[in-house]
Amino acid sequence: MGHRIVHGGSELHSHTLLDDDVRARLDRVADLAPLHVPQALTVLDAARDLLPGVPHVACFDTVFHAGLPVAAREYAVPSRWRDAYGLRRYGFHGLSYAWALARTAELLGRRPEELHLVIVHLGGGCSACAVRDGRSVDTTMGFTPLEGLVMSHRSGSVDPGALTWLLTRKAVSADEIEDALNHRSGLLGLSGTSDDTRDLVRSRVAGDERAALALDVFTHQFRRGIAGMAASLGRLDALVFTGEIGEDQPEVREEVCAGLSVFGLTGGLRPLIAERPEIISEPGARVPVVVVPTGEAQQINLETRALLAHR
């Protein structure tokens, strides 16, 4: 059995066969991704109890980014924080990115290690990744899956000075800040009504100004993220959308691409025809726009089989 584990922390940086030692290490990193890891460990423990004779493999979202260059990995904070606490950028959505990279290479008729791509994962959690020569060289998420772009109900990056100001000057507790940033922010916090882009697109058409604001901030942040990721590439061979929103929300794709003419991207994207990888930009576009349906489960399957084949 293969299990998706969002955060491997500083100790677990490859997909790993589970044993009691690995399971204990997972407890130590659970609080780094509180929306994901504790729940995954509950399922993992139940599966190990029900199927004790079956190998179990932990597949980490952080593995795809394990080789991030130092400049993209390190925070400009005191060395003690980095050395003693492992405070660094890890990156996430790695299983999704690995699947999208391989499918894009097949679609373009090139090898993954030949490609320079920006891949954006748009779902409940959102991030962007720069892939150069088939390897992750930058990404928008960092120490936890909270950093980076605006998400469904997560804030993305917020000025840390604003958070310490709330904590020290306005007596907002750390627990309240953590809860608000993880559960009551993002599209939900901006719109006040929904964290679902489908609802917000309909509400914007009906004249809801807060829904329009939420979508404007969301797509603006994505254009910023894509531009930032492109700065780590020598060229841009394609822009790739994956994740539930990336696959299912043509209005978001259109608004993101229409505002990136500086990179040779344009609007006028066609709808996705089928649930398979497709180029949705016009024929002959300077930079192809690709949609790859989310394949995290399929990637876990591949990684698990590959690891067990070499036991």
Q: Distance between CA 158 and CA 217 in Å, rounded?
A: 13
The closest alpha carbon to 36, from 64, 59, 13, belongs to: 59
In the numeric block, the tokens 């998420």 are attached to 141
Count other Cβ atoms within 10 Å, centred on residue 129: 29
Give the torsion sign (CA, 22, 298, 302, 8).
Answer: negative
Q: And the tokens for 170?
A: 């306005």
The residue annotated as part of the active site, out of 31, 45, 61, 196, is: 61
Q: Is 61 a catalytic residue?
A: yes
With left for phi above 0 and alpha for psi between -120 and 50, is residue 303 left, alpha or beta? Answer: alpha
Those residues with Cβ within 8 angstroms of residue 275's Cβ, 6 or more apart along the chain or in another chain: 247, 293
The closest alpha carbon to 280, from 252, 301, 300, belongs to: 252
Positions annotated as catalytic residues are 61
